[in-house]
Amino acid sequence: MELWIAFTIFAAAAQTLRFALQKALGATGLSPGGATFARFLFAAPLATGAAFVLYRQTGVALPFPDLPFFGFVLVGGVAQIIATELTVRLMGLRSFATGIAFTKTEVLQVAVASALILGETVSGPAALSMAIGFAGLVCLSFPAGRTAAFEGRPVAFGLAAGGLFAVAAICYRGATLSLEPAPFLLRALLALAAATVMQSVIMAVWLVLREPGEIRRVLQGWRRTGPVGITGLLGSLGWFAAFSLQNAAYVRALGQVEVIFTLLFSTFYFREKLGLRELTGVLLVSLCVIFLVLEGV
């Protein structure tokens, strides 16, 4: 199995757990902004420390981060902040599994953005696989027993979150590529550290101005908010490592396996029931994932 595939599957599993933990934060009284802040606050020092340790261990000459690197990190970081908060709000409107499914329009959006921004296109068979996976996601977006699944507010949140996650994915790949020829894992950690530090600062300023007292609640609830940051760090490390090795469109297409993990989590942890449409969606997404793994693109 190619490394980017292993990192992507690991990232999808970690992100599923993080979203579940983040959803549970709603019961603690934290706002969506507070839950989003927790995602970055605890990850920033860990990512920075890991990058420093790996740099000392490898002893390689570190390329100096240039303006494009910081530009990619800033745009990607802000896009991820907004997308994460939209996802938290979306999960409050719909079931856990369906809320995540709406954001997965990112799979098609990232393929288009990757071609436009980085000039990286996908093969015909891979594009067909992505389309099959997207069809599965459309099936998953219909809750059982309802015919009018595409309501304005959830769809708007989902499409916006998907588009912003796509922008973040492209920018993070651009950031890791700008640090070549450093080892891929060091590039991933440096980009991750820069992004999470920047995101923590931005979110802290926002919360101080708009939601006074929310930072204190995040820190006081560290037993619940800390695991969100740690699982977020693990997931992000997987994504960044995969982005440093492969076209972001392929990474995000394979990352659809997260939907399967989410459905399993929804069924066995949140006790949400799955209908025929959900099972059909799982089958289609699984076909997409299997194709990409076998091809290795």
Q: What is the pLDDT of residue 13?
A: 93
Which pLDDT tens digit goes with each residue over 208-227? Answer: 999 999 999 999 988 888 99
Q: What global pTM score does this model have?
A: 0.84
Confidence bin at 142 (pLDDT 50/70/90): low
Cis peptide before 45 (omega within 30 of 0): no
Is it the case that residue 144 has pLDDT exceeding 60? no
Residues 6+ apart with CB under 8 A from 149: 98, 141, 142, 143
Mean pLDDT of 191-213: 95
Which pLDDT tens digit goes with each residue over 12-49? Answer: 999 888 877 877 776 677 888 888 898 889 999 999 99
Mean pLDDT score across all residues of the chain: 84
Q: What is the pLDDT of residue 48?
A: 94
Tell me the C-alpha to C-alpha distance, in Å, between residue 88 and each of 25, 92, 184. Answer: 10, 7, 31
Query: What percent of the chain shows pLDDT beyond 90?
Result: 38
Which pLDDT tens digit goes with each residue over 251-287? Answer: 988 888 887 887 777 777 767 677 777 778 878 888 8
